[in-house]
Amino acid sequence: MINASLRNIAIIAHVDHGKTTLVDQMLKQGGVFRANQQVEERVMDSNDLERERGITILAKNTSVKYGNYKINVVDTPGHADFGGEVERVLKMVNGVLLIVDAFEGPMPQTRFVLSKALELDLKVIVVINKIDRPDARLNEIGDEVLELLLELDATSEQLDSPIVYCSGRQGSASLSPNEKGTDLVPLFETIVRYIDPPAGAEGPLQMLVSSVDYSDYVGRIAIGRIERGSIRLNQQAVICDYYGNRPPQKVKISAIFQFEGLARVQVDKASAGDVVCVSGVEGVTIGDTVCDADAPEPLPFVKISEPSVEMTFAVNDSPFAGKEGKFVTSRHLRDRLYKETLKDVALRVSDTMSSDAFKVCGRGEMHLSILIENMRRDGYEFQVSMPRVLYKEVGGKRHEPVDRLVVDVPEASVGVVMNKMGVRKGELIHMNPHGDRMRMEFKIPARGLFGYKSGFLTDTKGEGIINSVFLGYEEYKGDIERRATGSLVAHESGDAAPYGLFYAQERGDLFIVPGVPVYEGMVVGENPKGGDVVVNVCKRKHLTNMRASGSDDALRLSPPRLMSLEEALEFIADDEYIEVTPKSIRIRKIVLNAGMRAKNRAGTVSRV
């Protein structure tokens, strides 16, 4: 059973290579919007965080019309930390559009997502995007993509993948690097001609669930492709787990939706090959199969790469606990974290010996920082530990996660970056000049990248580009000093005063401004000389009736370094927490009392 008028494709690429912008133009030229309709840019990035950061975090489904054809499109994340989103949605499609920047070429995440597509034997259309860049390298990029396909052991058919040259911003495409094109018709034609229509077998229903949504009105919504048979409204079905971790569960299909543009349209029936949303399936999780009640035959699900970074999420116990958050108890925190695992297949949550703390494992610092940011915006108040890598025992030896790191820097910054990589146990694999810039590829322990992003931007004067992707596990590389600097720690509770801050800033860089409430053990700055220093930022000048020339001039305070969540995650040491509330990001010592800290960690160095 083949639906000849349907095509299912996913758009995959490295971060910031223009996937979402290209989908915008496909929607506009596919008739999804009215001619006079005002549409904001990157319409598929519907999440507030996605729009603020300019990255895609969650995979999105949509569809466009081209002639008599319907093309279901999945826009996927480009950042390596959200690779779990990419891996699972590839099971819904028959082919992929591999977007490659016309100047940068294949990058670490390009390799990762392409390897996953090749493993599933999907057809690939190479789209060289941003051809209107003045520094575009159109002919060289095609050769680099071919080399990547060879490295990944692509089949002869995949090596002959067609190449389309696009400008996502201008909405144009052509089949030749020497032609500009006027619209996306060449791209649509290539999709229709080269990507196979979905083929489904006749027989009892089989629908593999690749994504799960949630609605306050209908509960969980299963999203996936029908692999066999058809699904009908009010049909009796069974939710099955291929690996037998849960017993089959009987359900009744209460609603079926298909994607029409950006909307979900309710239908009474859908057939094999269709990508649908189904409600009435409470209890369904990603990887389950919705089967006919009389033939429960589950399908295997793609193995999702394991997490490599963990953090502790704990109930806030600082002196300011409960003042700014709506959800502050361990029950609130536990329910929210476990609910997140229903939608995020790359996330792992487990209880600890303490009822107030939970271990959360993810793909990387950004993966977990997005979770933290979403939770604080939802009104949660909690505290998190320093990120730590997950080790494995292999043959009696400790192994650690290793990343493939690619940096693109000005030639003047090569020396300092090489030096920093050496300190962090990085191993140079490849070095290639691009004009007046140098692209270097390293193999580096994942823990070696903790806290480096800010330093990298400083070392390259803001002109460097840094990207990494998980490579695998290798034998432990030795100790790496995480932080050479120390913290300035508040001596007492109260409001920060200009007089106290003026004398505290002589010890290092401050993180707060006058008037900010502080408590004993709160980190208020950084000590560049190493080691923690207790400072009294609440100290005020004692007033007397004596005045002296010049002594009462206004105190000059240096501008503070206000920490974002990501900067705080890079900064904290293993004896510190980040206190996260809807209104504030504070760094604090786990042990607030200075005397107790001195007993607990005298003479130790923060290491990862």
- Average pLDDT score over residue span 512-535: 92
> Looking at per-residue confidence, does 134 or 344 come out higher?
134
- CATH fold of 206-292 reads Elongation Factor Tu (Ef-tu); domain 3 (2.40.30)
Which stretches within 62-184 are classed as H helix? 83-89, 108-119, 138-151, 156-159
**pLDDT for 492 beyond 80:** yes
Does the domain at 392-475 match CATH 3.30.70.240? Answer given as yes
The DSSP code for 27 is: H
Round to whole Å and give the CA distance between 44 and 20: 7
Q: Predicted confidence band at 490 (pLDDT cuts at 50, 70, 90)?
A: very high
Round to whole Å and give the CA distance between 592 and 583: 21
pTM of model > 0.75: no
- Average pLDDT score over residue span 556-578: 88
**pLDDT for 423 beyond 80:** yes
Round to whole Å and give the CA distance between 416 and 428: 14
| Distance between first and last Cα of the chain | 55
Q: What CATH number belongs to 6-194?
A: 3.40.50.300
- CA atoms within 13 A of residue 134's CA, in its CB half-sphere: 1
237's tokens: 């079905």
> Looking at per-residue confidence, does 480 or 451 come out higher?
480
Alpha-carbon 117 to chain mean position: 19
- CATH fold of 486-543+551-601 reads OB fold (Dihydrolipoamide Acetyltransferase, E2P) (2.40.50)
Q: What is the pLDDT of residue 45?
A: 38
**pLDDT for 31 beyond 80:** no
Q: Predicted confidence band at 356 (pLDDT cuts at 50, 70, 90)?
A: very high
The structural domains of the chain, with segments of one domain joined by +, span 6-194, 206-292, 312-389, 392-475, 486-543+551-601
- Average pLDDT score over residue span 562-572: 87
Q: Predicted confidence band at 581 (pLDDT cuts at 50, 70, 90)?
A: very high
289's tokens: 């199969």
Q: Do domains 392-475 and 486-543+551-601 have the same CATH topology?
A: no
Q: Is the dihedral of CA 312, 314, 320, 323 positive or negative?
A: positive
- How confident is the prediction for the chain on average, in pLDDT? 83
- Average pLDDT score over residue span 523-529: 92
Count of beta carbons in the 10 Å neighbourhood of residue 170 = 16
- Average pLDDT score over residue span 2-21: 79
511's tokens: 């993180």
Q: How many residues does the chain have?
A: 608
> Looking at per-residue confidence, does 528 or 454 come out higher?
528
CATH class of 312-389: alpha beta
- Amino acid sitting at position 179: E
> Looking at per-residue confidence, does 254 or 551 come out higher?
254
Count of beta carbons in the 10 Å neighbourhood of residue 196 = 13
